[in-house]
Amino acid sequence: MVTIGRIPRLVNSFFRPQQRFFSKPAWPHFRGLVMAMAVGLEHTVGRLNALLRGHTHRTNDGEFLWRSRWNESEVLRAIALQQFSRLYRPGEPIYFVIDDTQTLKRAKKMEAVGKLYHHAEKRYATGHTILKACLYYRGITIPWGSWLYVKREHAAGLDVPFATLTELAARAIESLPLPPHFPVTVLFDSYYLCANVARAVENKGWHYIGVAKSNRRLTVEGRSHRLNRYAGNVVRRCGKWMNITGLRRTHSYRVAERIGTMKKLGEVKVVFSRRRSDHSVIALVTNDLQRARQRVVGDYLRRWSIELLIKDEKQHLGLGAYRVLRYRAVVRHLHLVDCAYACLTHVGLEAQRAQGHNKNKTVLRLPPVQQLKADLRRAVWNEAVKEVAKVSHERTVIRRLEKLLAA
Question: pLDDT tens track of the chain, all 407 residues?
Answer: 567 777 888 899 999 999 999 999 999 999 999 999 999 888 888 888 888 877 778 888 888 998 899 999 999 999 999 999 999 999 899 999 999 999 999 888 899 998 988 887 888 999 999 999 999 999 999 999 999 999 999 998 998 999 999 999 999 999 999 988 899 999 999 999 999 999 999 999 999 999 999 999 999 999 999 998 999 999 999 999 999 998 888 999 999 999 999 999 999 999 999 998 888 999 999 999 999 999 999 999 999 999 999 999 999 999 999 999 999 999 999 999 999 999 999 999 998 888 776 667 888 999 999 999 999 988 888 877 776 666 655 666 666 666 665 55
Instruction: Give the model's pLDDT for residue 180.
Output: 87
Query: What does the alpha-carbon distance between residue 82 and residue 270 come to, in Å, rounded to a whole number?
Result: 35
Instruction: Give the model's pLDDT for residue 107.
Output: 82
What are the backbone angles phi and psi of residue 373, rounded to the nearest 5°? -60, -40
Instruction: Give the model's pLDDT for residue 401.
Output: 62
| Contact in structure between 48 and 1 (CB atoms under 8 Å) | no
Instruction: Compute the chain's Rg from CA coordinates.
Output: 24
Helices (H), 100-224: 152-158, 165-174, 195-204
Instruction: Give the model's pLDDT for residue 47.
Output: 84
Q: Residue 264, by phi and psi: left (phi above 0), alpha (psi -120 to 50) or beta?
A: left
45, containing H or E segment: helix 45-50
Q: Which fold, 72-309?
A: Transposase Inhibitor Protein From Tn5; Chain A, domain 1 (3.90.350)
Instruction: Give the model's pLDDT for residue 302.
Output: 96
Angle between helices 327-355 and 72-87 (to 10 degrees): 20
pTM as predicted: 0.92
Cα pseudo-dihedral 355, 359, 360, 366, rounded to 10: 60
Instruction: Give the model's pLDDT for residue 57.
Output: 80
Length of the chain: 407
Query: What does the alpha-carbon distance between residue 127 and residue 100 come to, in Å, rounded to a whole number?
Result: 13
Name residue 188's beta-bridge partners: 210
| Contact in structure between 153 and 115 (CB atoms under 8 Å) | no
181, containing H or E segment: none
Instruction: Give the model's pLDDT for residue 406.
Output: 58
Closest-CA residue to 271 (of 193, 209, 185): 209
Long-range pairs for 261-266 at CB < 8 Å and ≥24 separation? 261/218, 261/219, 262/212, 262/216, 262/217, 262/218, 262/219, 263/216, 263/217, 264/194, 264/195, 264/198, 265/193, 265/195, 265/198
First-to-last alpha carbon distance for the chain, in angstroms, is: 15
95, containing H or E segment: strand 94-104
| Contact in structure between 65 and 328 (CB atoms under 8 Å) | yes
| Contact in structure between 356 and 332 (CB atoms under 8 Å) | no
| Contact in structure between 30 and 18 (CB atoms under 8 Å) | yes
Query: What does the alpha-carbon distance between residue 349 and residue 180 come to, in Å, rounded to a whole number?
Result: 28
130, containing H or E segment: strand 123-137
Provide DSSP, 267-315. Answer: EEEEEEEEETT----EEEEES-TTS-HHHHHHHHGGGHHHHHHHHHHHH
Domains of the chain by residue range: 9-71+319-406, 72-309
Q: Give CA separation, 130 vs 21, 79, 133, 151, 334, in Å.
A: 24, 20, 10, 12, 9
Looking only at the bridges linking them, the beta strands covering 94-104 and 184-188 are parallel
